[in-house]
Amino acid sequence: MMMKLQRKHVHLSLFMTVSLNMLGATQVAHAENNDASIHSGVAFNSLASIQIQCFPGENELPVNQVITDELTQQAASKVAEERVAALSQLAAAVPIDVAIRQEIIQKALQDADPRVRGQAVYVLAQQNCADSMLLLEQALDDSELSVRLMALDGLMDNDRSIALLKNALKDDEQAVRELAAVKLESFSQATEIVK
Residue 81: its pLDDT value, please? 96
d(CA 173, CA 178): 9
Q: Which residue did the predictor score with more confidence, 44 or 190?
A: 190
Say whether pTM exceeds 0.85. Answer: no
CA dihedral 148, 3, 30, 103 (to 10 degrees): 50
pLDDT tens digit sequence for 53-69: 665 666 667 888 999 99
| 31 burial level (CB within 10 Å; 0-12, 13-18, 19+) | exposed
DSSP state string for 2-47: HHHHHHH-S---HHHHHHHHHHHHTHHHHHHHHHHHHHHT----TT
pLDDT of residue 147 exceeding 80: yes
Contact 74, 65 (CB under 8 A): no
CB of 49 closer than 8 Å to CB of 123: no
Tell me: pLDDT of 108 over 70.
Answer: yes
Q: Residue 5: how many CA atoms within 13 Å on its side-chain side?
A: 23
Half-sphere exposure of 129 (CA within 13 A, CB side): 28
- Residue 84 — pLDDT band, cuts 50, 70, 90? very high
**Among 11-25, 101-115, 118-132, 153-167, the least confident range:** 11-25
Collapsing DSSP states into helix, strand and coil, what is residue 60? coil
Contact 142, 151 (CB under 8 A): yes
CB 43, CB 34: distance < 8 Å: yes
Instruction: Give 15's contacts (C-beta < 8 A, 6+ positions apart).
Output: 152, 153, 179, 182, 183, 186
Judge: domain 2-37+62-194, CATH 1.25.10.10.
yes
